Structure 1
């Protein structure tokens, strides 16, 4: 795609001599659909406008289509029609560097590069920890343990940690918008939200809802240009509904059976996230699947955040990527059975974290040396 973009002015000047011929070839080689061909081949468009719109459509289709188009430009019949192409590709044959430029190969599917992670500090890690709520909501005892664990781990990983405590919905929005407007010099952005939640979003301490779009929108590419192409990581500890997870008993493979903890002091963090933004480079880890409770111990913190911090400490020194680490979190949390009191009823339940990912590379949170 970059090759086509860099050649765009040359291609417009060259191919505008016979736009219909170009569209015909593109249609025959399945670069354009019949509908796209008809739309572009409009009698009221100038030759130049047709080629401009055509090139934009090719680039919008991605690298594979761009590669096919560049190979098509080397067709002898096309080069006879447009002699400038012949001169261009003749020069590329005598220069290996140019040849690579005009014959780009998409990267092999197995070759996944890593995000750069060398800045000092690595970036900002924001923790929004809501503990004390209005009378209609119960306080979130144990959340300070989660805050302390997250602060310890991300400081160790080289992040500049900022903590915002007991934020109303309006204050949460203001914090997120302010973060989105900052000039981010680091290689990564992390946001941890610890609060009550519902199917509509995350609760502020006043009980009002922060909608999903209000959480992510400040960090989209169109809103925060200094985070473009950088990983944006969200860890959210909150309920996503009022269901409890059912479970089945299975025989352990060479593992001692773990007795169900008898203490009935786990509490639900009573979110249905529709999706993460369409923009790339987002990693969103949620404590539970939609529609279900997320559990928190008033003394030791939440199952999800405590497991997350434990697995980060264990696997980051081994340079394992974030998705691999969260699979370990999924495994650990999903195996835990807890008794929880909901209303006047005590039930035994489990929990299943979930991740939504649009990362384009491996994200390795390496430990600074």
Structure 2
């Protein structure tokens, strides 16, 4: 597989932002599929806290993300070690999974669509989640970190932040577009507070 240029910058940005938010950060790099699964299972048995966040930066396809051995770890296999049965320490607590990975190799061009507003006109529709990784990092992770830095001090919830990320990322690129996908299984708003520094 090709080198994921920009992952180092994404890792640095995530590390900085989540430490700023008061999280303990554990970084693991270049793991095989079996190592990823073992790492997540072991972490699920030991992790504790008010909130858990897992960030994965890798190649991927519609089935999941690749380990360094080019085998797939599914999204379900990533989340399962942290469910209420396998990780009682986090039962009833928010768990967030941010995955920066392509969901396939097909690329689709931007298409023009008729707007629904009374003014008429055309707008661009983002139809592909292709992940582009320049040396400055990926659009998704860099926007996520920037939006967390902007919105967390204002007391905005994670859904508001993710909508701002979607808006950011959809405006990037000229001939190719991408759109982050997020699934929500929370019953309440989640607000990540910035710890007071004394």
Give the C-alpha shift of residue 351 in structure 1.
0.7
Query: Which residue of the partner structure matches residue 116 of structure 2?
Result: none
The answer to whether residue 155 in structure 2 is matched with residue 319 in structure 1 is: yes
Q: Name which of 58, 61, 68 aligns with 1:195.
A: 58
Per the alignment, residue 137 of structure 2 pairs with 301
Equivalent runs, 1:228-267 vs 2, <5 Å: 228-248=91-111
Find the residue that maps to 1:236 and give its secondary structure: strand
Kindly indicate which of the two structures has a greater share of residues assigned to helix: 1
Structure 1 residues 113-192: aligned runs within 5 Å: 137-184=1-48, 186-192=49-55
CA distance in 2, matches of 1:292, 1:335: 13
State the distance in 1 between where 2:2 and 2:106 align: 18
CA contact (8 A) 2:20 2:194 kept: yes
1:337 is aligned to: 173
> What whole-Å deviation, never above 9, does each CA across 1:121-154 have from its counterpart, x for those lacking one?
xxxxxxxxxxxxxxxx111121000000000000
Q: Displacement, 1:327? A: 0.3
SS in structure 1 at match of 2:55: strand
Q: When the two structures are aligned, how many residues end up with a matched partner?
A: 184
Q: Which has the higher contact order (CA 8 A, sep 6+)?
A: 2
TM-score relative to the length of structure 2: 0.88
User: Could you say which residue in structure 1 is the equivalent of 2:122?
Assistant: none
Match of 2:88 among 197, 200, 225: 225
Once superposed, what is the RMSD of the aligned Cα atoms? 1.7
Please name the residue that 2:78 is paired with: 215
Q: Compute the TM-score of the two structures, normalised by the length of structure 1.
A: 0.48
How far does residue 294 in structure 1 lie from its aligned partner after superposition? 1.6
Shift in Å, 1:244: 2.3
CA pair 249-213 structure 1, distance change in 2 beyond 3 A: closer
Asked if the contact 2:59–2:66 (Cα under 8 Å) also holds between the matched residues in 1, the reply is yes
CA positional deviation for 1:308: 0.4
For residues 50-100 of structure 1, the C-alpha deviation after alignment (integer angstroms, 9 at most, x for no partner) is xxxxxxxxxxxxxxxxxxxxxxxxxxxxxxxxxxxxxxxxxxxxxxxxxxx
Deviation at 1:355, TM superposition (A): 0.8
Contact 1:245 1:351 in 2 (8 A): no
Structure 2: stretches of 5+ with no match in the other structure: 114-125
* Superimposed CA distance per residue, residues 268-298 of structure 1 (whole angstroms, 9 cap, x where no aligned partner): xxxxxxxxxxxxxxxxxxxx98x7422211x
- Higher Rg: 1
8 Å Cα contact 2:130/2:177 also seen in 1: no
Q: SS of the residue aligned with 2:133?
A: strand
Q: What corresponds to 1:97 in structure 2? A: none
CA distance in 2, matches of 1:245, 1:324: 27
Structure 1 runs of 4+ with >4 Å offset:
none
TM-fit CA distance, 1:248: 4.2
- Aligned twin of 1:45: none
Q: Secondary structure at the match of 2:182?
A: strand
> In 1, distance between residues paired with 2:83 and 2:45?
11
Give the drift of 1:354.
1.4
